[in-house]
Amino acid sequence: MAMFILLLDLFLKPGNRYLVYVFAQVTLLLAAILTFATHTPDIRYAFSGLFVDDALADVLKLAIYLATSVTLVYTRSYLSLRGMFSGEFYALVLFATLGMMVMVSGQHFLTLYMGLELLSLCLYALVALDRDNPRSTEAAMKYFVLGALASGMLLYGMSMLYGVTGSLNISGVAEALMNGAPDHGVLVLGLVFIVAGLAFKLGAAPFQMWVPDVYHGSPTAITLFIGSATKLAAFAW
């Protein structure tokens, strides 16, 4: 639906552009209905244990749909008044929502990384959505450069964790830790890199140095989305 909205926007006249907003809201509603309809109390795994579907994941996904939908309602007039009401915004928001959903259901560190990067790349573009505003461009560049550094730290920590435990599956890592890791020093260092990478992405102290610049430089609609819906994916971790 995100790709459909992006293509649909190319053929819409300015007077009919409100349809991308309607389709975005319908997408979130249908996703919520599917999540609720397929909910079971059982824990189910897919893709060779990379993906997990449980009660916590379903609850958090429903909360993400709701927060994103409310954000779209509040930002519609803001975007219209500033000439930023376009399919790119809604497509990027939906892709970011998909990234949050992947994070919530991630049972593997690589799944977590893919969801986190999909979310982050969409946020970089959203922060720079107001292309004529130099503050937005500056904020997006700072966010991108520091985010790339955090991604490197996260991957490096995962590689060290894999070297110690022999697995990147969360259950496998937990089992290896309970049985006693052979190299405690490397394990601690790997966990430090992972926590640092995640803390930066989420804006947690002491890695919150990018938050003031990004929140101040990005459009208010984007700041609302970054400060609300994205935090729900962080709650799962």
What are the tens digits of pLDDT across the range 27-72?
Answer: 999 999 999 998 888 888 888 888 988 888 899 999 999 999 999 9
Collapsing DSSP to helix, strand or coil, 106 comes out as: strand
How far apart, in whole angstroms, are the C-alpha atoms of residue 187 and residue 201?
Answer: 21
C-alpha distance from residue 168 to each of 151, 163, 181 (Å): 16, 9, 14
What φ, ψ does residue 105 adopt, rounded to 5°?
-100, 10
pLDDT band per the 50, 70, 90 thresholds, residue 237: low
Rounded to 5°, the CA angle 69-75-78 comes to 165
Res. 169: pLDDT tops 90: no
Q: For residue 107, what are its two tokens?
A: 């049972």
Q: Give residue-wise pLDDT tens across range 77-129.
A: 888 888 778 888 999 999 999 999 999 988 889 998 999 899 989 999 999 88
pLDDT value at residue 222: 87
Tell me whether the omega of the peptide bond preceding residue 206 falls within 30 degrees of 0, making it cis: yes
In single-letter form, the type of residue at position 59 comes to V
Task: Find the radius of gyration of the CA atoms of the chain.
Answer: 19
Write the pLDDT tens digit of every residue in 175-188.
Answer: 877 777 667 778 88
The amino acid sitting at 24 is A
What pTM did the predictor assign?
0.90
Residue 138: CB atoms within 10 A of its CB come to 16
User: How large a percentage of the chain has pLDDT more than 70?
Assistant: 97
